[in-house]
Structure 1
């Protein structure tokens, strides 16, 4: 539940169906990226709080797993309905704590409900296998069962949606879950506790905790109660979690960083490419792992694309995320803003040219908060840091290419393999891209945006496991094999 102290709302953790402060009594501030004011406080949970949540989830799991899947699904469908009914409140929290536009925050709340709904409605379709045995009067049955206690760790850019993306399939499969949102944007996730209670999710089945990664996060990952960890975040953090979970051989699912190439070939629709690039690069202030992060534009359409794209980028309005006219809000915090500024400075030092942006915006409304202008860089080469390291912000480095083969080679020359974009009307090239692009998610002639029935997964250093659809559900079930002999 929520209480107000000096005009600042305090949200508690949700453990075993109760709202709790940290055992230590410590709190953390959540600041507005728009003006740097403290807008919320949350508990600064630690190791003991993590243990309590895990023990609670462990105690609740057998009864939840024993419940018929369709009944679990019906409870979760009600949970999703309540998220939709409260989407305006959740969206306002998201816009305030993260800096995304209110319109996008409304979309995130809606998608969050869908992430619960899709697996919940498929509860009756959890399937195993029966196969013939080599022996007479025997059947072989593969039965799929929940892991037990799962831990969900969400990134700060879409905290509510990423939490629900894990909660939906995990709970539908019969697992219980402890969810830790990021310290910088934890409040919308904590607000789910009240809705979970109202929906009738049994106490202990879903627990929402807050605290530091090196204390609470480490305990959640390394505690032997945890049977599966699913995490969305940076590659560096994912690698650490993978190592930390290895002592217990805990299952790990990781959705990590990206460096999506955006390829426009000479026969592609330039106007559609410009529209898709503008939306996809600047959505959520560029803080999306599937955003186009590097642009490979064919020399025959390069000038046209650049002129039109720069014109559209210059039209984007920075401002208060709660203002309906705002296209791009603030960066989430000072560190992210500084990193983006350093990236641009370094790119220029390495030979890139600034076509637009490249600085903090001017004006009294931007004196506080974490702001940076949408930036387009030209004359970039694939050996520049801006073309190789994830930027996670509104910077568009552009390279001129002369053939599909060159674009393919440059696109694949990358340690990440999450998403890619290709604009061409040549079906032969499209089919080649299916086989030859080393990315888990490829958008052909359209902006980004995966769908629930698809499969969102990364190759290379972009992750392991994947999420969504029937393949995502499989990640929350493990298998038992029964050899059933019925001889006399």
Structure 2
């Protein structure tokens, strides 16, 4: 099953993907297909159907028909299937990781980490089955109580980004299903095969038809149809701020419930009392993992002028040692996802240099030798003097990082907050007063203090401002997959 997919994706031919609707594999209503390439080689590794409005309607209708029976099951029974799916992910981890590598390009060891997160998201959701609680509130009337129940929304549509195709699908699927919703996944057209693999496993386990559906194609066609469908009740999306704005507009007429995890521009603040070696290692990992294609990445560094020289010397040495190469050889950095993404990075760097930035480490687009095919960009470090520089304001989403010196913690906080984004931030300091000040003043939904990136499943991953609304993970993330029903129960 999955091994056949992997063999096709990595062999001389191409894998022919299909949509999965109401328990059946289908090419959909159109004969048009989208070609999926391996970003490390540029080779077309497979095709998927270019879904449209008819396919979106079929998937949402199937989910809507299956939802009452699914919600009627005790949560623990729903959880059993999620546990079985988590077990299957663990059993097939090696194959799933290589599928991620083939379509997304991240190094194999990082892909194994993503598959491990996929399993964890599913298990945590299953464990939440016995933590679905309501409230009984005293009434103002005699012989009366107020019951507040958590109930499912109905049909959840999940739209996932290409940077973590397996983990993001599981992050949304698990809590949606354990809450009693049914699910339609629109896998990103760059990386559809991880989602298709996940539903293959679910089908093999015996998920009821219509509970978990997968459609493929472009966001402006099948995605738009899913968002605007009268039968979809909650839209959960991870992706760009631009795409989030489009979904916001499209869902307005029907006042859909939205959960949008969008772009980020994480500041990385290092103060004069920080553990410099730890901060350097954290800054490297938080910038260059997954080729910098993580919404919580270190996107801009604010360094106290007392330690900026030492920090940058060590940061440049560590960054210069990073290896860019074939994802299957476990390099530090693999390819970018696409040519246009590399073009975007080049434009930001050029505009920042034109604004007066200094090059501390010159990387750039790689085109020769082993890098003649695919989409490659080597680490680049810039020093800027003005927080308005393009690299300090635009989301780079690649292996480029600007640095700026500051003279005080207050200046660092003010510059960090000078952004339309509000997802993640980093602070390195041993001063407890500063840490409490950061907790109060930093306008971000997620702050890493004296540690590198990587949120935990029991936390709450949420953005402020242009970084989105809603959130994922933990009890607060699970709560978003419920709506509330209040009953005034009088027994007089």
Query: Which residue in the other structure is 1:199 paired with?
Result: 205
Per-residue deviation, residues 202-261 of structure 1 (Å, max 9, x unmatched):
110000110111110010000110000000000111011011111111100000000000
1:391 alignment counterpart: 396
Q: CA deviation at 1:6?
A: 7.0
Structure 2 counterparts to residues 116-131 of structure 1, below 5 A: 116-131=122-137
SS at match of 1:191: helix
Contact 2:144 2:490 in 1 (8 A): yes
Corresponding residue number in structure 1 for 2:149: 143
CA distance in 2, matches of 1:380, 1:221: 43
CA separation in 2, counterparts of 1:105 and 1:244? 33
Which of 344, 365, 372 matches 1:367? 372
Please tell me whether residue 440 in structure 1 is matched to residue 460 in structure 2: no
Q: Secondary structure at the match of 2:302?
A: strand
1:344 pairs with 2:349: yes
Listed as ranges, the gaps of 5+ residues in structure 2 are: none
Output the aligned Cα RMSD. 1.2
Question: C-alpha offsets along residues 103-126 of structure 1, whole Å, 9 cap, x if unaligned?
Answer: 000110110111111011110110
The SS at the match of 1:226 is coil
TM-score (norm 1): 0.98
Match of 1:360, SS state, is strand
What is the CA distance between 1:363 and its match in structure 2? Answer: 3.9
* Structure 1 residue 27 displacement after superposition: 1.6
Measure the CA separation in 1 of the matches of 2:198 and 2:17. 11
Q: Work out the CA distance in 1 between the residues paired with 2:445 and 2:322.
A: 30
Structure 1 residue aligned with 2:337, among 315, 327, 332? 332
Cα offset for 1:362? 6.0
Q: Secondary structure at the residue paired with 1:238?
A: helix
Q: Secondary structure at the match of 1:237?
A: helix
Q: 1:199: Cα distance to partner?
A: 2.2
Q: CA deviation at 1:321?
A: 0.5
* Equivalent in 50, 62, 74 of residue 56 of structure 1: 62
User: Does residue 453 of the first structure (1) align with residue 458 of the second (2)?
Assistant: yes
Output the CA distance in 2 between the equivalents of 1:258 and 1:300: 28
Q: Deviation at 1:68?
A: 0.5
> 1:242-321 alignment to 2 at 5 Å?
242-321=248-327
Q: Is the 8 A contact 1:183 1:212 kept in 2?
A: yes
Partner of 1:482: 487
SS of alignment partner, residue 322 of structure 1: helix
The TM-score, its normalising length taken from structure 2, stands at: 0.97
- Secondary structure of the residue aligned to 1:189 is helix
Once the two structures are superposed, the pairs formed by residues 5-154 of structure 1 within 5 Å of their partners are: 7-154=13-160
Q: Which deviates more, 211-220 or 194-203?
A: 194-203
Match of 1:354 in 2: 359
Q: Identify the residue that residue 210 of structure 1 maps to in structure 2.
A: 216
How far is the alpha carbon of 1:192 from its aligned partner? 1.0
Q: 1:169 aligns with which of 172, 175, 187?
A: 175
Contact 1:341 1:358 in 2 (8 A): no
Work out whether residues 145 and 477 of structure 1, in 8 Å CA contact, stay in contact via their aligned partners in 2. yes
CA deviations 1:79-138 (Å, max 9, x no partner) are 111011111111101111111001000110110111111011110110000010000000
Shift of 1:471: 0.3
Structure 1 runs of 4+ off > 3 angstroms?
A: 1-6
Could you tell me which of 471, 474, 477 is aligned with 1:466?
A: 471
